[in-house]
Amino acid sequence: MQLFVIKVGGNVIDNPALLQSFLQDLAAVQGPKVLIHGGGKIATRIGERLGIESKYVDGRRITDAATIDLVTMVYGGLVNKQVVAHLQALHCNAIGLTGADANIIPAVKRPVKEIDYGFVGDITSAALNIAPLKALLDVGLTPVFAPLTHDGQGQMLNTNADTIASSLATGLSAYYDVRLIYCFEKKGVLQNAEDDDSVIHLINREIYARLLEQKVLSDGILPKLENAFAAIESGVKEVLIGHAADVRSNTSGTVAGTLIC
């Protein structure tokens, strides 16, 4: 059976009109599906009002104790439940989750090497508990994940939404033909970051190596592509990277973005 694992980025979460039309398209997707949402800037805004400073080392966000509570509130509470309530209004029977719920995504607090990232969770694919997730899908629910995991010792952890998406897609590929779709605010992987229409429609390992050599890819897209190749090598049928507004075509057989294979 086919199943879509769909990740929607923080920039879409931050744009109410785009989010609403994305959720409409998502609700219309037939068959089993799983949504993973990013966080968006709302945690930073609420954090500023609470006097919680965003800390970065070498451009990477550090999740200190105040920040993990902040993102647990904002991503796991506000954003997740608003997405669920909107999907329910669209007659999509959503259930909002973090990786702590039903222990679906246990993680390991990232070991401190040069940088102490704080309460950031790394996922070991082998540790995923797919059975309860499959039980939810089997009764017709649409799981909606916030980008949070836990360490099994009572501590919530901050985990990249792209990584959660590829991990769940990989785990679910034991039971389904999984299509993993990354939805963001670009039409796909761009040949030229300045030109929104320069979408590369197909990327395989060989093309990827050439693109890396030519240094045309933007830094932001590299982890997405690494996650995509890792997913495909672990059993996911197909990975698509495209615009949130194109999720309808990207779930109906046509490819409006970039297909990774």
Binding site for its own copies (CB under 8 A): 46, 49-51, 69, 72-78, 80-82, 84-86, 88-89, 93-98, 100-103, 131-132, 135-136, 139, 141, 148, 150, 152-156
In the annotated binding site, the residues are 39-40, 61, 158
Neighbours of 71 (CB within 10 A): 25
By C-beta, is 27 or 200 nearer to its own copies?
27
Reduced to 3 states (helix: H, G, I; strand: E, B; else coil), residue 237 is coil
By C-beta, is 172 or 225 nearer to its own copies?
172
Q: How far is the CB of 73 from its own copies (least distance, A)?
A: 4
By C-beta, is 83 or 211 nearer to its own copies?
83
Nearest to 147 by CA among 221, 97, 206: 97
Angle formed at CA 138 by CA 10 and CA 242, multiple of 5 degrees: 30
Q: How far is the CB of 174 from its own copies (least distance, A)?
A: 17
Q: Which residue has the tokens 């669920």?
A: 84
Query: 207 with 258: CB under 8 angstroms?
Result: no
Q: How far is the CB of 74 from its own copies (least distance, A)?
A: 6
- DSSP character for 112? P
Reduced to 3 states (helix: H, G, I; strand: E, B; else coil), residue 131 is helix
In the annotated binding site for substrate, the residues are 39-40, 61, 158
By C-beta, is 111 or 154 nearer to its own copies?
154
Q: How far is the CB of 54 from its own copies (least distance, A)?
A: 16
Q: Angle, nearest 10°, between helix axes 221-233 and 161-172?
A: 10
